[in-house]
Structure 1
Amino acid sequence: MSNPKRWILSAVGALVVVLVVLGVYAAWQAHQVQSSLSAATDDAAHLQSAVADGDSAGIDRALASLRTHSRDAHERTDGWVWSLATHLPAYGDDARGVRVASRVVADLSDQGLASLAQSATDLSTIVPKDGKVDIAAVTKLQGGIADASTALAGARDELATQDPSGYLTGLKNRYRDLEGRIDSAASTMASADIAAKILPTMLGGDGPRNYLLVMQNNAEIRSTGGLPGAVSLLHTQNGKITMPVQVAGNEIPMRKSSVLPLTAAERNIYGDQLGTYFLDANVTPDFARTADLWKARWEEVRGEHVDGVITVDAVELGYLLAATGPVTVQGVELTPDNATDVLLHQVYVKIPDPTKQDVFFRAVAKTVFDRIANGTGSPQALIRALGKGAIEHRVLIHSFHADVQKRLTGTPVAGDFVTASTSSPQVTVSLNDSTMSKMSYFLRYDAAVRSTYCTSGVQGLTGSATFTSTLSKDNVAKQTPYILGGYRDFQISKGSQIVTIFIHGPVGGTISHVMQDGKPDSTAWLSHEDGRPVAQLYVTLEPGQKVDLGWQMKSGKGQTGDADLDVTPGLDSSASAAKSSCH
């Protein structure tokens, strides 16, 4: 009879050998996966460059290489050895994260990226050329863009099934970077998908259309971006785009009563000028309401029927110039680097006559429009510029055709003011200049919301915002009276500015404890609009001064998701919202 002890030792020895072999094999697999994913990352960068350059051959090479490397990583992480690794203590979640990331990249290389890359090579056919867009070409691209959008949305959702917070630091950073990139791409493609579907109609494929193109001037801040300065009428028919009318916003006179009936909340919060004065129709953060008011007043004064409203701001013009190249207007060269400085400040320094300023602004709008309409510049760069502006809410679109507006709703360009309860608490911080000045050029601000607790489906939220004047005391004397505005009328020091702040809390929620520089804000006035709590307050900024705001909020019941924070886009502004405390 064999010795049991020897048999046990032999078995243990064999098991150790197997484990060592498995360990070596697993380590080798991990090394190979890392190598493949690293190569796939380089391939993706090459693909991005090729798409930006419209290089068809480069796209094909990069995509083929990406498929090879991503499939290799996916196949290695889909085997039984990797499955064992996903159950290891401490490192199992890391292995699962690598598996999900590998599968997502492999699936995208086979589906979404292929469709996207193919569409990218045809982008030149859907941008204006000689004042016209080929509607048939836009329609042809709809399928590929829709496929890419669906694939990217699926990839985003799959990555969200994992929690990378417990991963090793290196993997956690890479996983979150991948999440961020795919989330951004998915949002962009969702917008592109909608654009491809609505463009044929908006371009006059179903009959002629008229749109108000409103240039928002960030030097005098308004809730949706800025003072409505140059206003143009765009006419589209069978893909042909023209600009037959241009006026200054201040040429549309004030009415004695509102052009449309105002609600009691609108009159209390924004005042009657919301409906009586074209220049103040966007003091509300509700862009759809602003569009209604602009349309009604334009049609009353000018007579031309309006099918929709499109706005862009001065910062977005700088983005567009990066695609079109510099333009020269009245002897002034506008480039991506100087556009905001010229349009929001230098024009008031060098052209003291407001009437001549308006002429310059209209000439800028017409020159940039002509450059885009005639097909100058890179189609990919133009689309990137519009996409960036859309994400930052610097490009807003509202259609008065229900089928088109239904597709726009919920996208970054819609400027939605949410009044229905959703799973995510909605917070809006909007700004309006109250000094009748162009001092918002010197205004910098940021806002943030964080979740502090979750009880019975209600989140506690803390909001904060910082406002800074970048005008130094030494430079006050260099500013013109037109820039400085009505500081005397408001009994504030020269070079100061007053900003009206509207804070809209979540639907069904509350706002309390509004603080300014750590003290209760005596100017804060609390009310409600469309089921949302509103705090209205005033911030006075002297040259070089910084002011901190803080407030407490509660969400409506059942709003357990991550908060959404919208902030008026300014010359330099930012918004951030932390994760929900409910999960």
Structure 2
Amino acid sequence: MNDQSRGDAENPGASGTSAGEPSVRRIRKRTNVRSKSYKRKRSLITGGFVALLVVVALGLWLGYSAREARANLFEARNHAQLAKDALLDGNTEDAERSSADADKYANQAYDYTHNVPWSVASAIPWLGSPLETSQQISEVVRGLTSEVLTPAVAAGTSLAPNQLIASGGKVNLRPLQDAAPVLDQTAVAAQRWDDQAQAIDEPTYLASVSDARTQLQDQLSELSKLLGNTAIAAKLAPTMLGADGPRNYFMAFQTNAEARGTGGLLGGFGVIRANDGVARVDTLGRNSDLVGAAAPLDLGPEFAAQYGQSRPTTDIRNSNLSSHFPYAAQIWKSMWAQESGEQVDGAIATDPIALSYVLDAIGPVKMPDGEVINADNVVELTESTAYVRFADDNNARKQYLQTVASRVIDKMTGQIQSPQKLLDALGRAAGERRIAVWSTHPEEQAILSGTLLGHTVPNDAAPFAGVVINNQAGGKLDYHTTREIDYTAESCAGDTRRSTVTVKLTNNTPAGDFPDYVAGTFINTLGVPKGTNVSAVSLLATQGAQLRNVTVDGKPAVFLTGKEMGHPLFDVLVPVRQGQTTEIKYQLTEPAAPGEARVPVQPLVDDPTVTVDVPNCGA
């Protein structure tokens, strides 16, 4: 290394400069990578912490809102029930207070489920599903309290059973007439909210919300039907009970131990006379009192083709083979007119099971010999025991049954201890199709035909399976018969689909020495042993349906075809031996028509098992 080089090394400031120039110190800045990374991490941590706080706060708020919403919905339901009870008890003040409380809590529940955090969270796919369902539930409940409960209470307590039914069974008609417009409005509102409730989305998770949805749907469906029936009663009852002048009705007592289309053989009858809300039965008779009706009644070619051979319009025993109650009602009206010369305003039918519900409400009655008839024994006495007790004296049996009816009617038209129980009993009987009503007045019949009381076969295209049993043995073994009915159909993929209606009949007649009148066969063309029940089993199918095959216990069966109210009808004669079950299976091809499938239950002694698996092609 030379001197110059060494000098430069020793004096680095002189390097690259000329003599006399100032030296420049170069400093290289180093980027602090660690510092930037730290700041970024700190920002992320801070942001995450803030987000976590927001999520936690949102979760806490949603949890609080959910708790409050649930509590308020519970209170709304509780106060709505209190309002209903107070209304039925005639307590105006309590009803109004409870109604206002129910509305208040329903609105609070609505507010808690419609705040901004709840609405934002409910919009999150899948996760927000229970929140959205809760919103829909609270909206329906709020609508119910404001549009149904509040107007109903505002109508007053005049419709409370203890105010509506006075001493002696008189019905106060003026309150019904005054309340009719409000009841009609609330019924329409209830139906609208019921439709909305049925459309509430099923939550993707959270069983408690799903259960609340199902409970609301079930309760609202029941409420809608109740209010609809109440509105109908307010329209019909005043005029039918003589608000505009006296009315008379033929009343049929059916014996469903021997099955007929509308329930059972007409065993006895009465004539109800109604005027200004007071109804009395001043005539009681036996079916044999109507055997003199010789003039046939023209109910149209369809009816004549299906039932004409049985002479239903002149033979009281076959007067109600059809399940379409207006046919039987018109026949009874005609027969009574021929017998008495009187033209009635309509017809009513009932049975011993309905009588048991009434006795449960009004209490037992005592026969002239001291025998007590109550809710627990009236069905067995009138549908089974009486046929054995009076096996050799048909007139004595009919007189016994007539006396039972007379004693019950006398008590019903006397002092009613609990009008609410009586109305509940009648409502239960009507719901089970054990009370049927027909009116000669077209405007009244138009309303009745759309209700359970009308017992009409609907003339429309929706899926339908009406299973009708008519006793062909002439005995009383339908008292021991139980039924199972199943209606299934394929999907709605095409214009038509295959369907199956399966009917199982079980003859539960116990061992014993029954009179021929009970367990024998009147015309034993099938050669069956005593104790065998013989039934004509008819299927009224969906309009346009075609029968592909019918079997009895798996074997092809002979069948007859007909038509009623536009529905194809298929008849099979079926013997059911004592202690055995017989299965009838109808296999059909039917139109894939829109509408809920209907399986009306013929009111016999048993409570049949009915299952339906038919997709709604209009849903």
**TM-score, normalized by length of structure 2?**
0.86
2-structure distance, mates of 1:237, 1:338: 33
Task: Check whether the contact 1:435–1:499 (CA below 8 A) recurs between aligned residues.
Answer: yes
2:375, 2:507 → 1: CA distance?
24
Task: Report the counterpart of residue 109 of structure 1 in structure 2.
Answer: 145
Give the Cα–Cα distance (whole angstroms) in 2 for the partners of residues 498 and 152 of structure 1: 46
The residue type paired with residue 65 of structure 2 is: Q
Contact 1:427 / 1:503 at 8 angstroms: preserved in 2?
A: yes
Q: Does 1:85 align with 2:85?
A: no
Q: 1:463 to 1:175 in 2, by over 3 A?
A: farther
**Residue deviations 1:340-396 (CA, integer Å, cap 9, x gap):** 112211222223322122222222222222222234132222222122222211111
Q: How does 1:54-73 map to 2 (within 5 A)?
A: 59=95, 62-73=98-109
The 5-angstrom pairing of residues 371-386 of structure 1 reads 371-386=411-426
Mapped contact 1:487–1:495 kept (Cα < 8 A): no
Work out the CA distance in 2 between the residues paired with 1:48 and 1:561.
Answer: 33
| CA-to-aligned-CA distance 1:304-354 (integer Å, 9 cap, x gap) | 111101111111111111221222233332222222112211222223322
What whole-Å deviation, never above 9, does each CA across 1:111-130 have from its counterpart, x for those lacking one?
Answer: 32344454476333333533
1:537 paired residue among 572, 575, 598: 572
**Cα RMSD (Å) of the superposition?**
2.7
Partner residue of 1:283 out of 321, 325, 336: 321
2:394 is aligned to 354
Partner of 2:224: 186
Aligned partner of 2:376 in structure 1 is 337
Question: What is the Cα deviation at residue 140 of structure 1?
Answer: 2.5
Indicate which of 521, 531, 553 corresponds to 1:486. 521
Amino acid paired to 2:422: L
Q: 1:433 to 1:361 in 2, by over 3 A?
A: same
Q: Cα gap change, 1:269/1:127 in structure 2, threshold over 3 Å: closer, same or farther?
A: same
Q: Which letter maps to 2:374?
A: T
Q: Distance in 2 between matches of 1:166 and 1:551?
A: 39
- In the TM superposition, what is the alpha-carbon distance from 1:72 to its structure 2 partner? 2.7
Using the alignment, how far apart are the partners of 1:297 and 1:429 within structure 2? 27
Residue 110 of structure 1 aligns to a residue whose secondary structure is helix
Deviations along 1:40-64, whole A, 9 cap, x unmatched?
A: 4444555555556556566456545
1:564 to 588, 598, 606: 598
Corresponding residue number in structure 2 for 1:368: 408
Partners of 1:499 and 1:576 in 2: how far apart?
Answer: 22
After superposition, the Cα gap between the structure-2 partners of 1:326 and 1:51, relative to the gap in structure 1 and judged at 3 Å, is farther
Paired with 1:293 and 1:409, the residues of 2 have a C-alpha distance of 17
Q: What secondary structure, in the 3-state scheme, does the structure 2 residue paired with 1:551 have? A: strand
Over 3 Å counting, the alpha-carbon distance change for 1:75 and 1:165 in structure 2 is: closer
Distance 2:158 2:215 in 1: 23
Distance change (3 Å), C-alpha of 1:115 and 1:226:
farther
Q: Within 5 A, what are the aligned runs for 1:89-488?
A: 89-116=125-152, 118-119=156-157, 122-127=160-165, 129-130=167-168, 132-164=170-202, 168-253=206-291, 258-260=296-298, 263=301, 266-269=304-307, 271-330=309-368, 331-352=370-391, 353-421=393-461, 424-472=462-510, 475-477=511-513, 479-486=514-521
For 1:153, what is the secondary structure of its paired residue?
A: helix
Q: How does 1:508-523 map to 2 (within 5 A)?
A: 508-517=544-553, 519-523=554-558
Q: Which residue identity lines up with residue 177 of structure 2 in the other structure? A: T
128 and 306 in structure 1: CA distance in 2 versus 1, 3 angstrom threshold: farther
Asked if structure 2 preserves the Cα contact closer than 8 Å seen for 1:487 and 1:497, the reply is no
Q: What is the DSSP-based 3-state SS (H/G/I as helix, E as strand, rest coil) of the residue aligned with 1:453?
A: coil
Where 1:241 maps in the other structure, the secondary structure is: strand
Q: Secondary structure at the match of 2:529?
A: coil
Q: 1:92 to 1:446 in 2, by over 3 A?
A: farther
Distance 1:75 1:460, change over 3 A: farther
CA positional deviation for 1:225: 0.9
Per-residue CA distance 1:516-555 (angstroms, 9 max, x = gap): 33x1441333333343121111222222212223223344
* TM-aligned CA distance change 1:34 to 1:531, over 3 Å: same
Q: Tell me: CA distance 1:269–1:148, structure 2 relative to 1, closer, same or farther (3 Å).
A: same
1:556-575 residue CA offsets vs partner (Å, 9 max, x unmatched) = 35x22221111211112333
- Judged with a 3 Å threshold, the aligned counterparts in structure 2 of structure 1 residues 62 and 552 are, in CA distance, closer, same or farther, namely farther
Shift of residue 35, structure 1, vs aligned partner: 2.9
CA distance in 1: counterparts of 2:377 and 2:123, whole angstroms = 56
Compared CA separation, residues 367 and 98, structure 1 to 2 (3 A)? farther
Contact 1:459 1:560 in 2 (8 A): no
Amino acid at match of 1:532: H
Q: In structure 1, what is the equivalent of residue 22 of structure 2?
A: none
State the partner residue of 2:4.
Answer: none
Over 3 Å counting, the alpha-carbon distance change for 1:374 and 1:255 in structure 2 is closer
Q: 5+ unaligned residues in a row in structure 2: which ranges?
A: 1-34
SS at match of 1:276: coil
CA drift at 1:299: 0.9
Does the CA-based 8 Å contact 2:464-2:597 persist in structure 1?
yes
Structure 2 CA distance for aligned equivalents of residues 92 and 357 of structure 1: 69
Q: For residue 355 of structure 1, what is the amino acid of its counterpart?
A: N
CA distance in 1, matches of 2:42, 2:308: 90
Amino acid at match of 1:387: G
Shift of 1:277: 1.1
Q: Partner amino acid for 1:146?
A: D
Structure 1, residues 232-285: CA drift from partner, whole Å, max 9, x if none? 111122333222221112321165673335525543456332222123121101
Structure 2 contact 487–501 (Cα < 8 Å) conserved: yes
**Quick check: which has more Rg, 1 or 2?**
2
- Which whole-Å CA distance do the structure 2 matches of 1:572 and 1:26 have between them? 51
Larger deviation, residues 222-231 vs 41-50: 41-50
TM-score by length of 1: 0.91
Mean Cα displacement is larger for which, 431-440 or 4-13?
Answer: 4-13
> Separation in 2 of the partners of 1:54 and 1:208?
29
Distance 1:529 1:494 in 2: 33
Matched residues in 1 for 2:258 and 2:151: separation? Answer: 43
- CA drift of 1:193 comes to 0.8
Q: Deviations over 1:88-127 (max 9, x none)?
A: 3334343333222222223323332344454476333333
Taking a change above 3 Å as real, the CA distance of residues 487 and 142 of structure 1, as seen in their structure-2 partners, is same
Residues 218 and 495 (structure 1), Cα distance of their counterparts in 2 relative to 1, 3 Å cut: same
Task: Tell me how far apart the structure 1 counterparts of residues 580 and 556 of structure 2 sit (CA, whole Å).
Answer: 17
Distance 1:553 1:56 in 2: 56
Q: Distance in 2 between matches of 1:115 and 1:334?
A: 42
CA distance in 2, matches of 1:428, 1:274: 20
Give the % identical residues.
24
What is the distance in 1 between the residues matched to 2:210 and 2:225? 22
Q: Which has the larger displacement, 47-56 or 492-501?
A: 47-56
Is 1:13 aligned to 2:53, yes or no?
no
Secondary structure at the counterpart of residue 395 of structure 2? helix
What is the distance in 2 between the residues matched to 1:262 and 1:26?
66
Inter-partner Cα distance in structure 1 for 2:255 and 2:52: 73
Letter matched to residue 239 of structure 2 = T
